[in-house]
Amino acid sequence: MLKAISPLDGRYYERTAPLGDYFSEFALMGARVWVELQFLLALDPYGIFPPLNKRERSKIEKMAKGFSPDDYTAIKKIEAELNHDVKACELYLQETLGLRHPNRIHFGLTSEDVNNIAYTLLLKKYRDERQLPRLRELLNFLADKIEAWRSIPIPARTHGQMASPTTAGKELAVYAERLLRRYKELKNLKFRAKCNGATGNYSAFTAAAPGTDWQKFAANFIESLDLEMNPATTQIEDHDSWADYFYLTRMINGILLDLDRDMWMYLMLGYFRQKTQSAEVGSSTMPHKVNPINFENSEGNLGIANALLDHFIAKLPNSRLQRDLSDSTVERNFGVALGHGELGLGETLHGLAKVDVNREYCVQELNAYPELLAEPIQTILRREGFEKPYEMLKNLTRGNRLTVAELNKFIDSLKISDELRRELTALRSSSYTGLAEAVCSRILAHLKKVLGNA
């Protein structure tokens, strides 16, 4: 697409094209038609119209199996005259199905009954078929890295300053656990929908067929689509479950953003390094450059996604009185937000696949900061009842750079037992990582348990 306005349909088209199956106008129209057809089948047993004959049922089932470009073009032609997309679907189905009683099509429905179900089914389908599998791919990749890096020490930074060491695997375990938590919430999220007419009171249904339990009908119909019925609405479904979905997606994107920025910083500090590709260029003028472009690209895409998701979350649960159309154009941008989010996740994965721990440098850096051992030394001295050990270590180390020899000289000056002296002098910055490996084991077990049952 040479003149695409959005990079999703231009530069990134090959990577985002599959999202057209969920968020294109074609996909939306196909979902509307499918909902109308399922409604026909659900309505048939209630005897409001003569039963569908074998030929009619066969035509309905056949159309439900495949929505074609020709179907779409014909509906859009009708819409151009009516200026109403859902009504165009109804008229097209009347023309195409050739039912003996065409009035059963769209019986008692308002356009929002069709639209809210269609959009919800598309969101659910996207979540189940693409979003959750991509998240599983990332979580499995993180699990492999956690396993490989669980015991590799790296410097830790708090407020940007050198702090108690950690391991590379444990730092990824933090992100894996956060993502896994949201993954489970996203997977278990139940989408809601409604099918209750123009102002949510089943008025047209009840007027035409007062003997039918329309609330039960709606619940059965909605639940047959693996959705949950919203029992009380205005003309529109309140979209609270959409907001829940977009909130969880936004939280996942936020965790990825945090990971991107930390990896960028670790690369800047030299704790990680990137694998080079011989044909790639990092700078048009500086040949030595190997830039962290995947993490930067991810950050930009996730930022765009979250800006849109913030608007979705704030806007969609609000509508003036019974309904206004301000949600319509917002709904048509679902694929834009989710497309940028998917690009961001993919770039994070690509970036992680290109990095490795700069082990030698990390150990060298840790050994150059023996003052990091001030924490375990003062803590051990507390255990021994030593008077004001924190203040003593603070005076020795705060704002000062020490050598191992100077630290050992300090330890030798303490009036402590030889056994305690040996315990303190045996401490090393490069091995002072606490239970980092045990944390990795715990998170790996959690990942295996959840993803094994995915």
Can you give the pLDDT of all 454 residues of the chain as single tens digits? 678 899 999 999 999 999 999 999 999 999 999 999 999 999 999 999 999 999 999 999 999 999 999 999 999 999 999 999 999 999 999 999 999 999 999 999 999 999 999 999 999 999 999 999 999 999 999 999 999 999 999 999 999 999 999 999 999 999 999 999 999 999 999 999 999 999 999 999 999 999 999 999 999 999 999 999 999 999 999 999 999 999 999 999 999 999 999 999 999 999 999 987 765 666 556 667 678 899 999 999 999 999 999 999 999 999 999 888 888 999 999 999 999 999 999 999 999 999 999 999 999 999 999 999 999 999 999 999 999 999 999 999 998 889 999 999 999 999 999 999 999 999 999 999 999 999 999 999 999 999 987 6
347 and 202 within one domain? yes
7 occurs within a structural domain: no
338 and 194 within one domain? yes
212 and 100 within one domain? no
454 SS3 class: coil
Domain of residue 410, residue span:
364-431
pLDDT at position 15, please?
94
Torsion of CA 424, 428, 433, 435, to 10 degrees: -40
318 and 253 within one domain? yes
Number of domains in the chain: 3
407 and 342 within one domain? no
Q: Domain boundary residue among 301, 325, 356? A: 356
* Residue 189 DSSP class: P
Terminal CA-CA length for the chain? 37
Angle, nearest 10°, between helix axes 334-353 and 132-149? Answer: 20
351 and 374 within one domain? no
114 occurs within a structural domain: no
Q: Is 284 exposed, middle or buried (0-12, 13-18, 19+ CB in 10 A)?
A: exposed
Report the CATH number that the domain containing residue 49 is assigned in CATH. Answer: 1.10.275.10
Q: Domain boundary residue among 320, 340, 356? A: 356
200 and 300 within one domain? yes
What's the predicted TM-score (pTM) here? 0.94
444 occurs within a structural domain: no
207 occurs within a structural domain: yes
Report the CATH number that the domain containing residue 180 is assigned in CATH. Answer: 1.20.200.10
109 occurs within a structural domain: no
61 occurs within a structural domain: yes
pLDDT at position 281, please?
60
pLDDT at position 323, please?
87
Report the CATH number that the domain containing residue 408 is assigned in CATH. Answer: 1.10.40.30
pLDDT at position 286, please?
64
d(CA 171, CA 262): 10
318 and 174 within one domain? yes
pLDDT at position 325, please?
85
Closest CA to 331 of 85, 93, 89: 85
Structural element, H or E, at residue 156: strand 153-158
Q: Domain boundary residue among 330, 356, 382? A: 356
411 and 336 within one domain? no
pLDDT at position 434, please?
97
368 and 352 within one domain? no
- Point out the residues that are catalytic: 159, 283
420 and 370 within one domain? yes
389 occurs within a structural domain: yes
pLDDT at position 289, please?
60
238 occurs within a structural domain: yes
Q: Are 237 and 194 spatial neighbours (Cβ–Cβ below 8 Å)?
A: yes
370 and 328 within one domain? no
pLDDT at position 283, please?
56
Could you write out the DSSP letters of every residue in 25-85?
HHHHHHHHHHHHHHHHHHHGGG-SSPPP-HHHHHHHHHHHH---HHHHHHHHHHHHHHS-H
